[in-house]
Structure 1
């Protein structure tokens, strides 16, 4: 999987700059939080599930440029920040499903915790099954228990991080560059796990905005 978890992000269009006020970080933050809240509310009110399925498919069909414009600079432990990280996980598995599945399985074997059970992937999980897992987690965000969905995503990240760390150790003697890439990936995933867990706790307190 590429080092970054998404396609290259285009620069904001003129229309978007005019909408959010490119020179006003406070306004961008307000828009990020408002759109995340409105999107979540709309999906949860749609009992047919059609809105949720469109939201799940959006990044795969259109990339995440538009989402990035809104949420990528939001605080990690906020509603838009949490949604942004979930979309990054979705893009990650779809960008390089084989590598993601290998790292997940390595982490599942090495990690002495209940995280693989919490995440809910089959044992072992195929690339297709991991892609479906991430989509299922997103469905939980938009239709189910939001905090539980974030906790599942955090557990998924911890398993992936463990796999990346141990695989980096394997590469270190012969391919130090690859080992460094995997180490950075593990650190990033560990950070995602911490942020998603904290966001889940904040949601339960009614403090995630």
Structure 2
């Protein structure tokens, strides 16, 4: 069921020229709720069409809900991963509305353009955000170590390390998702993403 529904949805949108159909599919999670999609695709393997579709929808949802924070992470990570801007299609200094447009653009590209290119864009985007998270974690830890060395208080260092560890965990999850997108693009190009 999950494979058939993902393939049917993708095929239906690829064969329509109606922008309203495309818009309804892109905003499916917004209008129907994530539970509908989760029931169909959340348990699918990452190297399958429903697994990749699930990850694309969750990426868009996350980007929409956290657009300001993600814009800051992009600005932090992009100078390190400079080629990703061109691939992901994001300006160097995006604001929250740019992130929301990018989220829609990546997902709509999966339906109206080359599916593999949309997955490459999603992968590049998540790579930059993961880089931003790692840099933010490093800054938190360095700043707190400097404060501890100066003031001699150790309690806040542990809290900072805990916050940094959470950021690093999220970055690791994003890097895994990025690899899933890259592998999905590779499989799609070979006609093996089912």
Who is 2:126 aligned against? Answer: 157
Q: CA RMSD in A?
A: 1.2
Among 103, 106, 128, the alignment partner of 2:73 is 103
SS state at 1:109 partner: coil
SS state at 2:79 partner: helix
Task: Give the total of aligned pairs.
Answer: 178
Question: When you count helix as a share of all residues, which structure comes out higher?
Answer: 2
Who is 1:125 aligned against? Answer: 94
Who is 1:83 aligned against? Answer: 53
Who is 2:171 aligned against? Answer: 186
The offset of 1:71, in angstroms, is 0.6
The offset of 1:131, in angstroms, is 1.0
- Aligned partners of 2:34, 2:161: CA distance in 1, in Å? 31
Which 5+ residue runs of structure 2 have no aligned equivalent? 145-156
Q: Larger Rg: 1 or 2? A: 2
- Aligned partners of 1:60, 1:108: CA distance in 2, in Å? 28
Superposition pairs of residues 1-209 of structure 1, within 5 angstroms: 31-111=1-81, 113-172=82-141, 173=144, 174=157, 175-209=160-194
Which 5+ residue runs of structure 1 have no aligned equivalent? 1-30
Who is 2:153 aligned against? Answer: none
- Aligned partners of 1:103, 1:62: CA distance in 2, in Å? 29
Cα distance per residue 1:14-66 (max 9 Å; x no partner): xxxxxxxxxxxxxxxxx111110011011111111322110111222333111
Query: What TM-score, normalized by structure 1, do the two folds share?
Result: 0.82
Cα distance per residue 1:154-189 (max 9 Å; x no partner): 000100110011111112344122111111110011
Contact 2:122 2:181 in 1 (8 A): yes
- Aligned partners of 2:35, 2:53: CA distance in 1, in Å? 14
Contact 1:43 1:49 in 2 (8 A): no
Cα distance per residue 1:68-100 (max 9 Å; x no partner): 111111001111111111111111112221111
Query: What TM-score, normalized by structure 2, do the two folds share?
Result: 0.88
Poorly superposed stretches of 4+, deviation over 2 Å: 60-63
Contact 1:101 1:125 in 2 (8 A): yes
Contact 1:168 1:178 in 2 (8 A): yes
